[in-house]
Structure 1
């Protein structure tokens, strides 16, 4: 059921879940997944994490502690539906600005609609672009966040280098991602839940099981906490740390551009 994780040296660029695909093919396949699940994405996040993703995201934004200033500008990558960006803006007293970037237009459309309903549109902009080739100048942002999205990026080292480039000196990177469970028994339960239950819930709620099969497989292929921390350091970040949530089901990685 489990599959060997990729290492700090790479491997995610040709890994579509447990399948090996040709270089350049993964992005097309991942885009198709998120076009299919966009409208039900947040509902399925509740099911996939038993609602815990909300607490993990709240903890990530609390760690970021965004400034209450209109000069504070965050880039939230792979954040199409707005979940993290909304939290950041609210935590800043609706002072900070957030740019939500996603490669998938369907996800961005959901996020823009949600932002309008929450009255947050003035603080947000939505940009369709690739995390591996950010359309921003060097040193543009105070913080870069990405939640449950980095494992879907084919060339993760390229995306991390781009994150470093667009951050201001003193800027912070925060990556929230599913990780390697480190608690005995919990790992067995989590495997059973992931592989047996989640794809079936996906079929019932969205009519599609395959996208969720990919998502749970991609979690198992993603580098573990130490390997991913090494990748962040290799991209030039300093003071790199991580915090496990719920026994390592998720982890929050932090790095600074100093």
Structure 2
């Protein structure tokens, strides 16, 4: 819904466009009719448009009756007021945390040195509202060597999804794209090293490039399927 500052982000739109709410609901209904069972709202930061997000989360859970509705957030704008109004609708709240070392987070572009406090605060808010907490980590050049076991055991997310940093050529793969994520790349051996270190965690779910590149349908801010190699982007309707 908004721009992201992470250097490896694979959707690099320069627009902060927000579709009218009726259009967004129509797109969700079309996807539901086509067989969609789960939906994940991400960004940028979805809570930059908190009321819009809340209306969609409520619609997808209450009207479309999706089995899973989740939101990915950096946690900084999740307010008590929003949770009081919409907290019963999301099944999962996911927060991106690429390192449990703030210096590394800053290098990656994740906050300015206060992100870990936000992670803990969101964890507490989720417990209060019966929302499952998920942590997303992008494993990359700056964090693949890190031992995150102690921090994960302390926070106790229901799921810890770890992604191998992904290059999408048209989005983040060269000096001609808005972001060039090639400096974040790791080898498959380095990816396996990270997995071996953390695979004993029950919540740990690794997702390498071979899975991630083809396992999701992604919509951009114009309700178009996000380009993953196609020559053009097709709108849902």
Relative to the length of structure 2, the TM-score reads: 0.37
* Structure with greater strand percent: 1
Relative to the length of structure 1, the TM-score reads: 0.35
Task: With a CA cutoff of 8 Å and minimum separation of 6, indicate the structure with the bigger relative contact order.
Answer: 1
